[in-house]
Amino acid sequence: MDLTFRRLTDGDLPTLHRWLNEPGVVRWWEGDDVSWKGVVGDYGSGSTDSTEHWVASLAGRDVGWIQCYPTADEPKEAEKWWGRGVDRTAAGIDYLVGDPADRGHGLGSAMIRAFVADVVFALHPGWTQACADPHAENVASWRALERAGFRFVGTVEGKDGPGRLMVTDRPPQKGTDRPAGRSRGFVDYDRVASLYRQGRSLPQEVLDRWGSAVSPFLPPGPIRVLDVGAGTGVFAQVWPQWATARVVAIEPSAAMVRAGDVVHPDASFVRCGAEALPVRDASTDVIWVSTALHHFFDVHRSVEEFARVLASAGQVLVRTYAPGRTEVTWANEFPGRPKWEMRFHTEDQLHAIFGAHGFVLSSVRDVVEWRESFADSARWAERMRDADSLLTALTDEEIAEGLERLRSNPTKIGRLELTLFVFRKDG
């Protein structure tokens, strides 16, 4: 879409007044003064706050309003966001699509995505995130945020009721030495690759369990598998056991590739990111993403690549932790839960992200990997403190408190599971 943005002027106030009083909009502005006097006072040139008001235009036609502001200037509202792990250097945004006829066609998500890229991050180098908390019942609004690449981090109470707090991060700067698709910085894999391999190795019985989980979704005959975000190649080596498969493991970290030392004749490594897969269009039968999707710098671009390289009957199999669904008992003992949960995609977010690129969710199932005592969990967490994206979200004090809780109840048995999401091309 040919979307452009310009600063709101007093000449735009009659249009904005009309948009704000449109029935599909005004119901979500309950408590705000959308009278002519209120609009002039809040959005006109006489307003003295730091909020920037913009008009979105599509092919020269004004279609919406969108604003941004530093959350630090709104501490009363932002305090509950910061408590959910949002950066204090984040921006808040609000938005609307003015004409009812323009809604429901993807304009809202396109407008948000373009505004965040072209205005929020491009014009404000100090802003590290963009956030919004639409009312939980305003499904169209938070769905638009999901399609624009925002993730849900928790419910917050607002003046009009519960809101869904949605966040997106500033992408990496071009020209840095961090290639697209590399870890978003949750874990320094080049430094902890050997430790990661040790801590993430899986017993054969768990690998067999995952083989059984994916088996119903594999086409007959020889298949080509892309293991995207392969890490040290734990699964790249077992895919040929699960099927007659040739595996290409995609991994951007050279240290992870070296630590893996994969030697299977039907598995090979390619060092690159998920955003630019080095394979031909429609050449792949299965894409496997194991606990990696949340690390991709540009998830939407990666899924767009998945759609390009998959054959028409291809499947994307995602092994991941999904907040609100997947059970990892030991993690509940650590404070700071909102901070680590916001690193992972919820089931709804995965549905929205893949749906935006022509995929449908065909199956979801939870796979129990093992049960272990809290004493064993404490030992693992202490060893993997710098090599696990859940644990690196926490401060040293939060880690110490969580370890103490686990050790105070050493014989309690916890459950560790991950969830398999299966996506196929729609049609």
Delineate the domains of the chain, giving CATH numbers in brackets: 3-169 (3.40.630.30), 189-425 (3.40.50.150)
Q: Is the pLDDT of residue 198 over 80?
A: no
* Reduced 3-state DSSP string for 155-205: EEEECCEEEEEEEEECCCCCCCCCCCCCCCCCCCHHHHHHHHHHHHCCCHH
Q: What is the pLDDT of residue 15?
A: 95
Render the burial of 97-115: b for 16+ CB within 10 Å, e for the rest.
bbeeebbeeebbbbbbbbb
When pLDDT is cut at 50, 70 and 90, the band that residue 1 belongs to is: low
**105 and 93 in contact (C-beta within 8 Å)?**
no
What is the pLDDT at residue 182? 41
The predicted structure's pLDDT at residue 30: 63
Angle of the 139-147 helix axis to the 347-355 helix axis, nearest 10: 70
Per residue in 226-244, pLDDT (tens digit) is: 999 998 889 999 999 999 9
Which pLDDT does position 177 carry in this prediction?
37
| Residue 317: exposure state from Cβ atoms within 10 A (0-12, 13-18, ≥19) | buried
Max distance between CA atoms of the chain, in angstroms, equals 73
pTM above 0.85? no
**Mean per-residue pLDDT, 315-334:** 95
Asked if pLDDT for residue 179 goes beyond 70, the answer is no
pLDDT at residue 252, rounded to an integer:
84
For the chain, state the CA radius of gyration. Answer: 23
Q: Find, among 353, 289, 299, the residue nearest to 321 by Cα.
A: 289
